[in-house]
């Protein structure tokens, strides 16, 4: 049973926050210290599989294996044309060992089923595991899986998959590109300040640098999980730390493709919805998503499941709209309910949850404040805001509309703010290759993302089709009501600043043609320049031209529809006109202040003007 014990040890070794750092390290070392089989046996297997002497295939093969695992061991080598490669050789008589272990597991699960009086056949889990393990015995399948995974994820440069040398690979021998990188276990050990083999300790700088690389690996690992889950649907089935590397170029490298899992498209969208519903604390919608994923069996009392979820997860505290709780805890609650109601957990569901929990375990060991939900949510936001499909629109509608189709401004604002706050800009939305008109996402003095700027820049862009459809679908009166409400005060201030930017742009265009460079006009000159290649890279940041918003016919139609719907309520329209007047007046004053500073610095000596504070009712 050592094969199955090793697999369990791999999973537990990724959770030092649960089992403790010492036990985690011991399990990792146990996995790394599996005794190798003799080199002459390995060389004989290579010659038998490839049909030629080793010397005619490789110019060099290391004397000792670089790594040993339960399925095989890896040697470092050089091909005849000079490539550094990893040569994985399968253990002898492995098929017999696998079949024996699965048979013993099947007997054990059958006894457990009788003792626990379970309705489902637990032996099916052994059959499923056996199918996967037997599949991993054929390295030609792993080579094919690796190529398939590489092709599916080639458009994501932060993910790295080693090249397979097909001519040097067979059923029991696999030759692939050697990845130069650090394992998560090594990074965790350095960041924790463990002693070096010679007895000395790592310096503070080394520990901090290792911690930074580990957290970057985790963030990219979480995004890689979401890419596999929500974009390609092709999942790496064994993403434990031993199969991951952090390269010098900052990529996350994947190893061991013995087993992949392919998801259905409908399940991808249901999983996306699940993440959104967990973040929003919408447990009834979460149950619906689980039903769509075929997790909840037909005939299950949906109301009782929802009530149990609300009881188990309802006490979770939210901070800035994100569950202030470890992913592993939420996962544990869901698993307990799944066991109670006999949920069917598809392979992909278990894989994704296990992957995210493993990455969280690594991150928490380096940073106790790390939150998986916070790291994952920006990707979810980008997915919902840029993919124009019926499934994603349905999820987005559930976020910002209530049952009466009334627009909930605060929910959308929080959705955008939380999603963008993790990074300075939304990847794929800001400065994309296809359309760089969105510019850079500005930050306020507090460091909070300027949601108003994000919305206004997104609306006329190619990626803004989802948001435009959303506004066309919403009840116009509810949009206006949300805009003039007390809850929208902060965002009215942001819109006011945007209007001031527009007015100042107009003033500069009309009167500032001969003005020398000032603290404000330099940005506008840069924005209007046709060729700024001679400027310093840090000075070439484009300033967004808001006038494109007023020239966009689609936005004019949306604005007209909103006002026509709101005109049925005269009091609401009066509030809207008054709020708009105050915002415009305040923005005009702010724009005039900027213009005065620019003209003063251009024609007089520089004058210091204190930054004006303003309030929007």
Q: How many CB atoms lie within 10 A of CB 95?
A: 14
Rounded distance, CA 440 to CA 426, Å?
9
Rounded distance, CA 352 to CA 184, Å?
18
Task: Return all residues near 426 (Cβ < 8 A) that are at least 6 apart.
Answer: 378, 381, 382, 385, 419, 420, 441, 454
Rounded distance, CA 361 to CA 184, Å?
11
Tokens of 267: 């399940």
Q: Is the separation of the CB atoms in 472 and 558 below 8 Å?
A: yes
Helices 2-13 & 21-32 angle (0-180, nearest 10): 140
3-state DSSP assignment of residue 252: strand
101 is an active site residue: no
Spell out the SS3 assignment of 163-200: CECHHHCCCCEEEEECCCEECHHHHHHHHCCCECCCCC
Rounded distance, CA 345 to CA 423, Å?
33
Whole-Å CA distances, 144 to 98, 165, 223, 336:
22, 11, 24, 37
Q: Residue 216, class by beta-carbon neighbours within 10 Å (0-12 exposed, 13-18 middle, 19+ buried)?
A: middle
Catalytic residue among 238, 256, 501, 523: 238
Tokens of 545: 């031209």
Q: How many CB atoms lie within 10 A of CB 177?
A: 16
Tokens of 469: 């459809």
- For 512-569, where are the alpha helices, taking DSSP H only? 521-528, 547-551, 553-566
Q: Is the separation of the CB atoms in 397 and 465 below 8 Å?
A: no
Q: Is the separation of the CB atoms in 440 and 431 below 8 Å?
A: yes
Catalogue the long-range contacts made by 426-432 (C-beta closer than 8 Å, 24 or more residues apart).
426/378, 426/381, 426/382, 426/385, 426/454, 427/378, 427/382, 428/382, 428/386, 428/463, 429/382, 429/385, 429/386, 429/454, 429/458, 429/461, 429/463, 430/457, 432/463
Render the burial of 567-601: b for 16+ CB within 10 Å, e for the rest: eeeeeebebbeebeebbeebbeebbebbbebbbeb
Rounded distance, CA 54 to CA 51, Å?
9
Task: Return all residues near 381 (Cβ < 8 A) that are at least 6 apart.
Answer: 415, 416, 418, 419, 420, 426
Q: How many CB atoms lie within 10 A of CB 260?
A: 21
Q: Is the separation of the CB atoms in 180 and 248 below 8 Å?
A: yes
Pick left, alpha or beta for residue 439 (phi over 0 → left; psi -120 to 50 → alpha; otherwise beta). left
Known catalytic residues? 238
């Amino acid at each position: 049973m050592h094969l199955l014990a090793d697999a369990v040890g791999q999973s537990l070794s990724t959770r030092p926050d649960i089992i403790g750092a010492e036990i985690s390290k011991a399990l990792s070392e146990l996995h790394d210290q599996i005794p190798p089989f003799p080199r002459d046996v390995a060389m004989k297997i290579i010659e038998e599989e490839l049909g030629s002497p080793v010397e005619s295939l490789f110019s060099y093969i290391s004397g000792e294996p670089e790594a040993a695992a339960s399925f095989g061991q890896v040697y470092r080598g050089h091909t005849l044309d000079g490539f550094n490669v990893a040569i994985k050789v399968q253990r002898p008589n492995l098929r017999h060992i696998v079949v024996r272990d699965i048979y013993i597991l099947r007997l054990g699960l059958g006894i457990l089923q009788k003792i626990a009086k379970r309705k489902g056949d637990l032996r099916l889990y052994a059959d499923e595991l056996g199918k996967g393990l037997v599949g991993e015995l054929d390295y030609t399948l792993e080579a094919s899986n690796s190529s398939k995974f590489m092709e599916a994820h080639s458009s994501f440069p932060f993910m790295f998959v080693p090249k397979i040398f097909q001519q040097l690979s067979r059923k029991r021998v696999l030759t692939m590109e050697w990845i130069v990188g650090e394992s998560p276990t090594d990074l965790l050990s350095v960041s924790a300040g463990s002693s070096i083999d010679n007895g000395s300790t790592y310096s503070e700088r080394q520990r901090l640098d290792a911690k930074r690389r580990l957290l970057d690996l985790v963030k990219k690992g979480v995004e890689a999980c979401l890419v596999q889950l929500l974009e390609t649907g092709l999942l790496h089935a064994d993403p434990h730390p031993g199969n991951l590397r952090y390269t010098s170029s900052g990529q996350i490298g994947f190893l061991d493709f013995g087993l992949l899992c392919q998801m259905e498209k409908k399940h991808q969208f249901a999983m996306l919805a699940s993440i959104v519903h967990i973040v929003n604390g919408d447990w009834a919608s979460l149950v619906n998503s689980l039903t769509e994923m075929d997790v909840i069996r037909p005939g299950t009392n949906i109301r009782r499941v929802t009530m149990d979820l609300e009881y188990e997860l309802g006490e979770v505290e939210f901070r800035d709209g994100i569950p202030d709780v470890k992913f592993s805890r939420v996962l544990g609650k869901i698993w307990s309910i799944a066991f109670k109601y006999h949920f069917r957990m598809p392979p992909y569901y278990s894989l994704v949850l296990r992957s995210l929990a493993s990455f969280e375990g690594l991150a928490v060991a380096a940073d106790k404040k790390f939150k998986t939900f916070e790291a994952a949510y920006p990707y979810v936001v980008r997915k919902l805001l840029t993919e124009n499909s019926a499934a994603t629109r349905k999820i987005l509608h559930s976020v910002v509309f209530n049952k009466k189709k009334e627009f909930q401004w605060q929910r959308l604002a929080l959705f955008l703010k939380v999603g963008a706050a993790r990074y300075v800009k939304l990847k794929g939305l800001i400065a994309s290759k296809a359309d760089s008109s969105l510019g850079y996402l500005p930050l306020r003095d507090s460091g909070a993302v300027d949601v108003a700027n994000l919305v206004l820049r997104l609306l006329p862009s190619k990626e803004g089709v989802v948001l435009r459809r959303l506004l066309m679908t919403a009840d116009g009166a509810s949009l206006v009501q949300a805009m003039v409400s007390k809850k929208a005060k902060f965002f009215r201030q942001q819109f006011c600043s945007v209007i001031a930017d527009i007015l100042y742009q107009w003033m500069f265009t009309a009167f500032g043609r001969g003005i020398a460079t000032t603290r404000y006009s330099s940005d506008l000159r840069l924005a209007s320049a046709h060729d700024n290649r001679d400027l310093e890279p840090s000075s070439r940041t484009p300033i967004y031209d808001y006038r494109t918003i007023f020239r966009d016919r689609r936005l004019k139609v949306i604005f007209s529809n909103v006002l026509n719907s709101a005109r049925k309520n005269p009091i609401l329209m009066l509030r809207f006109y008054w709020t708009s007047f105050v915002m415009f007046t305040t923005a005009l004053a702010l724009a005039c202040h900027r213009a005065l500073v620019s003209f003063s610095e251009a024609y007089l000596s520089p004058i210091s003007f204190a930054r004006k504070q303003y309030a929007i009712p």
